[in-house]
Amino acid sequence: MHTVTLGPSGTYSHRAAGAVATDDEIEFRESIRDIVDAVADGDAARGVVPIENSIEGSVTETLDALAERDVAVVREVITPIKHGLLAQSEEFDTVASHPQALAQCREYLDEHYPDASIEAVASTARGVELAGEDPSVAGIGHPDNATGDLKVIAADIQDRRSNATRFFVLAPPAARSDAGGKSSFVVYPGANYPGLLLELLEPFADRGVNLTRVESRPSGEHLGDYLFHLDVDGGLFEERTQAALAEVEEIAENGWVRKLGSYDVEHVV
């Protein structure tokens, strides 16, 4: 079975997927939700999705899909993101890319192309594809995608030198593991009272388990109702992580806790 990730060929997700699969094992999907669904439904052995960027923050589509579908996180892949501006010539009036990439280059675009129209498309590679078909369009994406008539008009255009994205490698629930240096959970407390969030975090602090990310997302039930995504520096094989989680499960007894799994981190270029 295949590994699915965001297409077409040449996305940053595709590059990250190279850490877990060879090119002939990779299949492309048009949206993050399609990738999570393919893994949850057993149509793919692995899925690779972006979760967080150092400039733009969380990829909310991923967070929401992970809260809704039962999949395991089995690895984290971190890759540097160095964007190029790719076009047939400097005579373009539209810049097309994935919303995350456009946001990561916002200051550059405001300074150098203040009059350009901005077009959000499904992935960076899709924006570059449009630039290849239409001389009035430039795409933002990895410079290796400058093939055919496309040139790299500018390199390293992200607003910070160190731009990096974390990706999760997803697998069907049966592949969930307690082994690994990090773990991720989604908690829906099903309650709202003063100090609730503090209560949810204290079990980790009490045992010296470092929290590496806390993110709240609307539950979708009603305004002001949230679920929380937690990443911790600790594996579920560790007694301290299990004990902290057991306390969290008690606090969330009117809601639910999803263990996404424990995993190791890999840096790839």
Ligand X SMILES: O=C(O)C(=O)C[C@]1(C(=O)O)C=C[C@@H](O)C=C1
Shortest separation between residue 59's beta carbon and ligand X, angstroms: 5
Tokens of 62: 């991923």
Residues that bind ligand X (CB under 6 A): 6, 11-13, 50, 53, 59, 81, 98, 100-101, 123-125, 165
Shortest separation between residue 21's beta carbon and ligand X, angstroms: 15
Shortest separation between residue 188's beta carbon and ligand X, angstroms: 24
Burial of 267 (0-12, 13-18, 19+ CB in 10 A): exposed
CA 259 to each of CA 58, 127, 183: distance values in angstroms, whole numbers, following the listed order: 19, 35, 8
Shortest separation between residue 126's beta carbon and ligand X, angstroms: 8
Query: Is the peptide bond between 189 and the residue preceding it cis, with omega within 30 degrees of 0?
Result: no
Q: Rank residues 54 and 219 by Cβ distance to ligand X and give the closer one.
A: 54
Q: How far apart are CA 233 and CA 65, in angstroms?
A: 23
Please, are residues 230 and 184 in contact by the beta-carbon 8 Å criterion? yes
Q: Rank residues 11 and 94 by Cβ distance to ligand X and give the closer one.
A: 11
CA 75 to each of CA 16, 34, 72, 152, 265: distance values in angstroms, whole numbers, following the listed order: 11, 19, 9, 33, 6
Please, are residues 166 and 51 in contact by the beta-carbon 8 Å criterion? yes
Question: Dihedrals φ, ψ of 29, to 5°?
Answer: -125, 160
Q: Rank residues 127 and 234 by Cβ distance to ligand X and give the closer one.
A: 127
Q: Rank residues 16 and 201 by Cβ distance to ligand X and give the closer one.
A: 16
Q: Rank residues 103 and 197 by Cβ distance to ligand X and give the closer one.
A: 103
Shortest separation between residue 140's beta carbon and ligand X, angstroms: 9
Q: Rank residues 61 and 202 by Cβ distance to ligand X and give the closer one.
A: 61
Shortest separation between residue 128's beta carbon and ligand X, angstroms: 9
Q: How far apart are CA 162 and CA 168, in angstroms?
A: 20
